[in-house]
Amino acid sequence: MTARPSAAGLAIEGLRVVFDDFVAVDDVSLRVEPGQSYGIVGESGSGKSTILRAVCGLAPKSAGTVSLIAPPGEPAGALPAPGSREFRRRVQMVFQDPYGSLHPRQTVDRILAEPLAIHGIGEAETRIERALDEVGLGKGFRFRYPHQLSGGQRQRVAIARALILEPQILLLDEPTSALDASVQAEVLNLLEEMRRRHGLTFVMVSHDLAVVTHMCERLMVMQRGRRVEELSSGDLAHRRVADPYTRRLMQASEGFRRGAAPPVEPA
């Protein structure tokens, strides 16, 4: 197996995504340096996931550019163009819903073999077994169908499918929000381990500020398709935020706190 190249970064400039007359993303720019972990947070409908889909070519760009940032030692001219096969190999995505992102009539083996076949990558047997071992499943899961797996196991298969192409950038669209609370920490720890082991660049979308603070070094806050502010995870953890919307988002993320119930008068 050849040595994995250093991770590339990601640059987005003036991105605009419009569906019919609805502006989902309006003039958003961000820069994720090679090897960095970057979060995008905001309420539902703020355009977070649409940004990731636009990067992958799954949402139409009406304006703006998406490009890779060369890792150390790699000339910028060697970087693939967005939409090319090499770009799609280097930039992989893990979707929110592990129940919907895996083909129900394909075995895990077929699900993992398909991207290798599309990109003309050999050694399928070795790569599939190694990918399953990396995500903590093992070859015993290789010929199972998605309906035979738990939600956490399905998401591990989705992560293995993304990693099997040895990407440099991993786009994570709320990767644990569809999982039980007891499984979320396991999947997040797995993702962090994969990032350290392979030197990946992460872009993570989440509505959970605690998850983003833990997983990401920097983050962008979005509202109604527009960028509100950008800050570090340290700034967020210490409540050093500038915009009132970010403060409201922080308060909402703290959750519902049940107060003491009033005494019940006897009948």
- Residue 3 inside a domain? The answer is no
> Would the pTM count as exceeding 0.85?
yes
162 found inside a domain: yes
Band (267; pLDDT cuts 50, 70, 90): very low
Which of 205, 218, 216, 250 lies closest to 25 in space, CA to CA? 205
Residue 262 lies in a domain: no
pLDDT digits (tens, 9 = 90+) for 178-212: 788 888 889 899 999 999 988 999 999 998 888 89
Within a domain: residue 198?
yes
Q: Give the number of other Cβ atoms within 10 Å of residue 117's Cβ.
A: 11
N-to-C CA span, the chain: 77
Is 257 a member of any domain? no
Reply yes or no on whether the pLDDT at 5 is more than 50: no
Higher pLDDT, 176 or 148: 148
Amino acid (one-letter) located at 211: V
Determine the structural domain holding residue 157 and report its residue range. 9-71+82-252
Query: Domain holding 52: CATH number?
Result: 3.40.50.300
Is 265 part of a structural domain of the chain?
no
* Structural domain count of the chain: 1
Q: Is residue 96 part of a domain?
A: yes
**Domain assignment present for 236:** yes
C-alpha–C-alpha distance, residues 176 and 94, integer Å: 10
